[in-house]
Amino acid sequence: MSVLSRPYFYDEAAAFEHVEAILWPQGPVCPACGNMGKHYKLTGVRTKPSKKNPEGIERHGLYKCAECRKQFTVRMGTIFEESHLPLHKWLQAVHLMCSSKKGISAHQLHRVLEVTYKTAWFLAHRIREAMRSGELSPMGAKGKFVEADTTYIGGKEKSKHVGKRNPKAIGGVGKQIVHTLVERGGSVRSHHVADVSGKTLGPLLFNNVDRKSALMTDTGGGYYRVGKAFARHEMVDHSKDEYVRGDAYSNTVENYFSILKRGVTGVYQNISKHHLHRYLAEFDFRYTNRAARGIDDNARAFLALSGVRGRRLTYRVSPGVSGA
């Protein structure tokens, strides 16, 4: 039987029950007063009639708090709040984004879910907010390896119209810089950075990597002094065709970049620098919760839904519908 045949992907009542089971494992919680005690479940309540829905729409998952007497649903305080999109379509979108290794474009979501492109673009960014880990504990530990490297995101000059090509734009000129940390066999964290100097990379490494770890990098200048603060620092010199020297290599982080680049080039094609951090959060989430670590698509979707609370994103704070 197909995964998409599960009731919560097409039945609104089942969708509410599914999300409630994830966000309210101990029962309903009033978002207004925090009451976890007595609540009343309201049934048969419908929205006001309209031309499109003369009889109104049934309001599933509606509760009334016995303490503050306010009505609420599991949507409140989450990325689903005040969305006109049915909850079961949100769950379809979450599953598609969690199960697509290189991502799924807003245009594809717009066609599959039969919603407008604007709706698909915005819900995708809301889901990316839910995927953002916000993890503060350092990566690595004594005896563990953390790889660090940078890559550049942006179009190639040869792919531009001949009249728009800039002969001086070589290498990373005019592109966005992404710095990524990968713990071998573990999680990944990516950051959109301004440059690759030690002044910029130092705080990222010190705040995100345990200094008892072994740091593996290439010969980028920003790592020379920073690396001395770690228990061990090994560099491989790609300019001399050196890629592996015993346990010194950065192939794991390069593998992550290959997935990121295929997603950017093949699926999204164009990403605004204003939203790059959200796309990075999406790729980090899927890589960290990958099948090699025993996490399948359903478990990944469960983890994404667990992060929807307190991550509400409004359209006003998402500058420009640019690149999807």
**Predicted pLDDT at 57:** 87
d(CA 129, CA 52): 32
- Give how far Cα 187 sits from Cα of 65, 139, 210, 234, Å: 40, 8, 13, 20
If one counts the domains in the chain, the total is 1
Q: Would you place residue 178 in the very low, low, confident or very high pLDDT band (cuts 50, 70, 90)?
A: very high
- Residue 226 placed within a domain: yes
Q: Are 177 and 193 in contact (CB under 8 A)?
A: yes
- Residue 203 placed within a domain: yes
- Residue 259 placed within a domain: yes
Residue 16: alpha-carbon gap to chain centroid: 23
- Residue 248 placed within a domain: yes
- Give how far Cα 289 sits from Cα of 124, 154, 298, Å: 18, 26, 11
- Residue 170 placed within a domain: yes
Residue 312: alpha-carbon gap to chain centroid: 14
Structure-token match 């990325």, residue found: 79
DSSP state of 265: I
Q: What is the pLDDT of residues 73-89, one digit of tens each?
A: 999 999 999 899 999 99
- Vertex 147, ends 145 and 150: CA angle to 5°? 170
Spatial CA neighbour of 215 closest among 197, 203, 227? 227
Which CATH number fits the domain that encloses residue 163? 3.30.420.10
Q: Are 212 and 140 in contact (CB under 8 A)?
A: yes
- Residue 40 placed within a domain: no
Spatial CA neighbour of 150 closest among 267, 60, 274, 280? 280
Q: What is the pLDDT of residues 109-162, one digit of tens each?
A: 999 999 999 999 999 999 999 999 877 899 999 999 999 999 999 867 666 666
Beta bridge partners of 146: 183, 215
- Residue 262 placed within a domain: yes
Q: Are 216 and 145 in contact (CB under 8 A)?
A: yes
Q: What is the pLDDT of residues 152-174, one digit of tens each?
A: 998 676 666 667 767 666 666 67
d(CA 132, CA 130): 6
d(CA 273, CA 177): 10
Question: Considering the entire predicted model, what is its pTM?
Answer: 0.90
Q: Would you place residue 312 in the very low, low, confident or very high pLDDT band (cuts 50, 70, 90)?
A: confident
d(CA 2, CA 294): 20
Q: Where are the alpha helices (DSSP H) in 61-146?
A: 87-99, 106-113, 117-131
For residue 253, pLDDT over 80 is answered with yes
End-to-end Cα spacing for the chain: 32
Q: Would you place residue 56 in the very low, low, confident or very high pLDDT band (cuts 50, 70, 90)?
A: confident
Q: Would you place residue 51 in the very low, low, confident or very high pLDDT band (cuts 50, 70, 90)?
A: confident
Q: Which domain holds residue 258?
A: 145-287
- Residue 283 placed within a domain: yes
